[in-house]
Amino acid sequence: MYKDTVTVFNRRTESGKVLWYPTVIEGVHVDQADAAGPGRYGWTPGGRAAALIPYFRAEGAPTVAGKLYLPPRLWRRVETPEMYVTFAPGDEFDFFITGPWDGAAPVDDGQWPGGFYDGLCRERDDVYAVAAVCRYDALPHFEVTGR
């Protein structure tokens, strides 16, 4: 059941630059749903995905893909963000893609015309902005919903 791979990109602003820190996570289950919805000029395509990401407990903190999980605000303040992972919805959202990322890390947003997230959306399918995150402890996993 948990046979998919996703890459989560965490957004961080450093010295006025936006950088994206990738984390490749294997052993995930992804449910995808393509949907269309009403738009200003007719129906517009859309899609949603839910990534079920198992975690392990290490010294009381969840560990995902060998990295400690931190809540988004705390993650933005650590000195070594590449050592941690988070899932942030909202205005400064993170996003995930299906499959592994084998490019540079961290990714400089300014190197992509229109920004990294928009560039990936133009280049490939299955790019999802984090919309909501739920953590479940009974069967330890995060449910990360993307749109």
- CA–CA dist 97, 139 (Å, integer): 24
Q: Mean pLDDT lowest for which of 3-17, 46-60, 121-135?
A: 46-60
- Whole-model pTM? 0.89
Sign of CA dihedral 76, 123, 113, 49: negative
Q: In this predicted model, what pLDDT tens digit does every residue of 86-131 receive, in sequence order?
A: 999 999 999 999 999 999 899 999 999 999 999 999 999 899 999 9
Per-residue model confidence (pLDDT) at position 44 = 46
Q: In this predicted model, what pLDDT tens digit does every residue of 7-39 receive, in sequence order?
A: 999 999 999 999 999 999 999 999 988 755 554
Strands ordered across the beta sheet of 61-64: 56-58, 61-64, 67-69, 84-85
Sign of CA dihedral 86, 136, 126, 23: positive
Per-residue model confidence (pLDDT) at position 18 = 97
